[in-house]
Amino acid sequence: MSPWLIGFSVFFGYPLVMSAYLSFNHYDLLSPPRWVGLANYRYMFHTDPQFWTSVKNTVIWMVGIAVPLQVVFAFGVATAVARIKSGAGFFRTIYYLPALAPPVAATLGFVYILNPATGPVNTILGHLGISGPLWFQDPHWSKPSLIMLSLWGIGNTMVIFLAAVLDVPQHLYESAELDGAGPFQRLRWVTLPTISPVILFAVVLGVIQGLQYFTQAYVAAGVAAGQASQAADVTSVSLGYPLDSTLFYPVLLYEHGFSDFQMGYAAALAMLLLAVSFAVTLVIVLNSRRWVHQAVTR
Amino acid sequence: MTAATAAAALVRRRPPARVRRKRLLLVVANHAVLIAVAIGFLAPFVFITLTALMTNDQALSSNFWPHPFRLQNFVDVFSKAPLLRWTLNTMLYSCVATLGVVLSSVPVAYALARLRWRGRNLAFIVVLVALMLPPQVTVVPLYVMWAKFHPFGFNFIGTLWPVIIPNWFGDAFSIFLLRQFFLTIPEEYLDAARVDGCGELRILATVVTRLAKPAIAAVALFSFLYTFNDFFLPLLYVGTNPHNWVLSIGLSQFRSFHQVQWNLTMAATLLVMAPVIVLFFLAQRAFVEGVTLTGVKG
């Protein structure tokens, strides 16, 4: 226990306190920290032109749109798999595989498949007479492309949902059927309430992951920007490419902290992330009583 | 009365044709959806593989089928980029970190699940909080800490050690998963060992680890995968030192490295995906058990 306590204080407790301290300082790693009070926070909310962009991108897209889509999609697939008699294991494996693909590899694959000129998707769309969008090259399509990538990787959530759906006691369905409930009513009034704790778990996890969404955005922007500069020979800043449309909050934090080494400002961004993820988890868990059904416990 | 019940039973056994047709339709629709989604999920893998087998000219054309197949790509990637070096670095990170996670998390989880001590509940809450918080919250001070720490003139920035060492002091997710599993071990086993004169450490080393093999396997597996896929932390510490790049970073830079072509990029992507997918098929049970363990009981 005690080695853990040491490690814990060094790698978790100390950084939390230090992060709070640094957020009130100007610090560039070279000269000692200089106390600036709330200046970092003022700059964040009032001046930083990219701050609100990154907040909007993260909150609206990666939390507001991506998480519900992921949960609904995973639930739909899980119930569909649960309903079939044979071959469920086969389908489960197929749906789980993409979740295994290392994020960098998966992102590279998607940037290639969705590359506007020669990518397979636009080629197929072209054969159907549709001229495909520019995907990762278009500020309007880059976030939908990333969401497609995230939907491809719902395997974990799907497996958890599937186990929960298969755990629903069969007699509940039978009595519902006797009461004249059709398949959709059974889904709504039996399956959903019984597995709601698992759905809550998936939502909390999804929101937390949405808030720390980094790797895919960073890699997609970098590769897409490299591709564009090769084609048109324009030097562009790759973070957030195109036009800050993939500038998510963690990307902004990375840019300030580890590309510009504005450690004080990055610490302030980290403190806000800490507060928000804490608050979000608390709100979801506290409100869960209203809609999570907990009759089936062991 | 009896006739009515008999009729009812008959109806239950053989539903009317209309209902049967509707059910059949549902089954067909269900399978159609499952197969369509499965094709969608497999398509990226198929396109990545096909492109990995093409010549560069073909990869830039709109043909899907490689002609001729160019297996040479998988040899070329090793000469075009230090793939072997990246693999060795990744193995160093993944293996040493995984070993550390298992060795340090098992005792902590046991203490949280099975021993009575003051502050146990508080410690568990702290683990949950650590589990919820995005890594970005603590990276800034940690980076500063490693940057300012030069024992015997050794510079940690640019090496993988700042990413590996914290794993030897417990990992919140693993502690949580193991604790949930340890709670399910019947107390009688432990009491029997205690009666036989076993100390807690020996119980842990013999009885608990043997009973908890599936959970420990799952933790080791997840930890290996997490570190194998990890991009954010290695990027911070070794991003500027290509000598210590891991696969995820190398792959993300692959295209800009030597202006390499899509066919080679996809071959490298496939090579990075392969170990994970092979591991999955070797240890499928541990995977699924692990995923459901975290979800259902969490």
- Give me the residue spans of the domains in chain B: 2-73, 81-296
- CB of B119 less than 8 A from some CB of A: no
Q: List beta partners, residue A34.
A: A26
The per-residue pLDDT for B95 is 92
Q: Are B182 and B109 in contact (CB under 8 A)?
A: yes
The per-residue pLDDT for B9 is 54
Residue A179 Cα to chain centre, angstroms: 40
Distance from CA of A67 to the nearest CA of B (A): 16
The per-residue pLDDT for B31 is 85
pLDDT tens digit sequence for A64-107: 888 999 999 999 888 888 888 777 888 888 888 888 888 988 89
Q: Are B65 and B50 in contact (CB under 8 A)?
A: yes
The per-residue pLDDT for B15 is 66
B7-27 burial code (b ≥16 CB/10 A, e <16) = eeeeeeeeeeeeeeeeeeeee
Based on C-alpha coordinates, what's the Rg of chain A? 23
A138-A140-A141-A146 Cα dihedral, nearest 10 degrees: 110
The per-residue pLDDT for A293 is 58
| CA atoms in the 13 A half-sphere facing the CB of A48 | 22
Full DSSP string of B223-279? HHHHHHH--HHHHHHHTT-GGG--HHHHHHHHHHHTT--HHHHHHHHHHHHHHHHHH
- CB of B108 less than 8 A from some CB of A: yes
A112–B288 CB contact, under 8 Å: no
The per-residue pLDDT for A296 is 42
Q: Which of B53, B117, B136 best probes binding to A when mutated, by most A CB atoms within 10 angstroms?
A: B136
Q: What are phi and psi of B118, to 5 degrees?
A: -65, 135
Q: What chain B residue is nearest to A177 in terms of C-alpha separation?
A: B12
Q: What chain B residue is nearest to A160 in terms of C-alpha separation?
A: B292
Q: What are phi and psi of A49, to 5 degrees?
A: -70, -20
Question: Of A105, A107, A112, which has the smallest distance from its Cβ to B262's Cβ?
Answer: A112
Q: Are B233 and B136 in contact (CB under 8 A)?
A: no
Per the listing, tokens 């939907």 go with: A151
pLDDT tens digit sequence for A21-51: 888 887 877 777 778 777 788 777 877 888 8
Selected from 3.30.559.10, 3.30.1370.100, 3.40.640.10, 1.10.3720.10, the CATH number assigned to the domain covering A49-291 reads: 1.10.3720.10
| Beta carbons within 10 angstroms of residue B69's beta carbon | 12
Q: Which residues of A touch B247 (CB under 8 A)?
A: 102
Full DSSP string of B46-63? HHHHHHHTS-HHHHTSS-
Q: List beta partners, residue B72.
A: none
Question: Of A7, A215, A223, which has the smallest distance from its Cβ to B166's Cβ?
Answer: A7
Q: Which residues of A touch B150 (CB under 8 A)?
A: none
| Neighbouring residues of A164: CB distance < 8 A, sequence distance ≥ 6 | A78, A194, A195, A198, B295, B296
Q: Are B172 and B130 in contact (CB under 8 A)?
A: yes
Question: Of B166, B251, B295, which has the smallest distance from its Cβ to A160's Cβ?
Answer: B295
For chain A, which residues make up each domain, given as ranges? 49-291
Per the listing, tokens 């990154």 go with: A54
A18–B228 CB contact, under 8 Å: no
Q: Which residues of B touch A120 (CB under 8 A)?
A: 43, 47, 64
Q: List beta partners, residue A25.
A: A35
Q: What chain B residue is nearest to A101 in terms of C-alpha separation?
A: B273
Q: Are B171 and B99 in contact (CB under 8 A)?
A: no
Q: What chain B residue is nearest to A250 in terms of C-alpha separation?
A: B136
The per-residue pLDDT for A235 is 39
- A144-150 — which CB contacts under 8 Å span 24+ positions? A145/A110, A145/A114, A145/A220, A146/A61, A146/A216, A146/A217, A146/A220, A146/A246, A147/A61, A147/A65, A147/A66, A147/A69, A148/A110, A149/A106, A149/A107, A149/A110, A149/A216, A149/A220, A150/A66, A150/A70, A150/A216
Q: Are A170 and A115 in contact (CB under 8 A)?
A: no
Question: Of B34, B168, B292, which has the smallest distance from its Cβ to A91's Cβ?
Answer: B34
Nearest of B169, B151, B225 to residue A15 by alpha carbon: B169
The per-residue pLDDT for B93 is 92
The per-residue pLDDT for A229 is 60
Q: What chain A residue is nearest to B269 in terms of C-alpha separation?
A: A105
Q: Is the pLDDT of residue A240 over 80?
A: no
| Beta carbons within 10 angstroms of residue B154's beta carbon | 9
Question: Of A102, A198, A253, which has the smallest distance from its Cβ to B273's Cβ?
Answer: A102
Q: Which two tokens stand for residue B282?
A: 């070797």
A103–B248 CB contact, under 8 Å: yes
> Sign of the CA dihedral B131, B135, B137, B142?
positive
B-facing residues of A in 242-281 (CB < 8 A) are: 250, 253-254, 257-258, 263, 266-267, 270-271, 273-274, 277-278, 281
Peptide bond into B68 cis (omega under 30): yes
- CB of B121 less than 8 A from some CB of A: no
The per-residue pLDDT for B21 is 82
The per-residue pLDDT for B117 is 80
Q: Which two tokens stand for residue A49?
A: 């032109």
| Neighbouring residues of B19: CB distance < 8 A, sequence distance ≥ 6 | none
pLDDT tens digit sequence for A100-158: 888 988 898 888 888 877 778 777 887 787 777 888 877 888 888 888 988 998 888 88
CATH architecture entry for B81-296: Orthogonal Bundle (1.10)
- CB of A184 less than 8 A from some CB of B: no
B-facing residues of A in 33-72 (CB < 8 A) are: none
Cα(A45)–Cα(A49) distance, integer angstroms = 9
B201: burial class by Cβ within 10 Å (0-12, 13-18, 19+)? exposed
Residue B121 Cα to chain centre, angstroms: 28
Give pLDDT tens digits along chain B (298 positions).
Answer: 455 555 555 555 566 777 778 778 888 888 888 888 888 888 888 888 888 888 777 777 777 777 777 777 777 778 777 888 889 999 999 999 999 999 888 888 888 887 878 878 888 888 888 887 888 888 888 888 888 777 777 788 888 888 888 888 888 888 888 888 888 888 887 888 888 877 777 888 778 888 888 888 888 888 998 899 889 889 888 888 888 888 888 888 877 665 667 788 888 888 888 888 888 888 877 776 666 665 544 3
Separation of first and last alpha carbons in chain B: 51
